[in-house]
Amino acid sequence: MKAFLLAGGLGTRLRPLTDSTPKCLLPVQGTPLLQIWFDICRQYGIDEVLINVHSHGDAVRRFIDEHKDSLRVRLFEETTLLGSAGTVLANREWVDKERSFWVFYADVLTTANLNQMLAFHCSRGQIATIGVYEVPEPSRCGIVQVDERGVVFDFVEKPKAPVGNLAFSGLMLATPALLKFIPDNYPVDLGFHVLPQIVGRMAAYRIPEFLIDIGTLETYRAAQDIWPGRSPSQEQGGFRV
Query: What would the pLDDT profile of 85-138 be if each residue is shown by its tens digit?
Result: 999 999 999 999 999 999 999 999 999 999 999 999 999 999 999 999 999 999
Give the separation between CA 52 and CA 81, rounded to whole angstroms: 9
Which domain, by its residues, includes 88? 2-226
221 falls within a domain: yes
Which residues pair with residue 3 across a beta bridge?
Answer: 49, 102
Domain containing residue 83: CATH number: 3.90.550.10
144 falls within a domain: yes
Of 2, 68, 97, 158, the active-site residue reads: 158
6 falls within a domain: yes
Catalytic, 97? Answer no
pTM of the prediction? 0.90
Query: What would the pLDDT profile of 188-221 be if each residue is shown by its tens digit?
Result: 999 999 999 999 999 999 999 999 988 788 888 8
47 falls within a domain: yes
Residue 239 pLDDT class (50, 70, 90 cuts): very low
238 falls within a domain: no
58 falls within a domain: yes
How many structural domains comprise the chain?
A: 1
Q: What are phi and psi of 179, to 5 degrees?
A: -60, -35
14 falls within a domain: yes
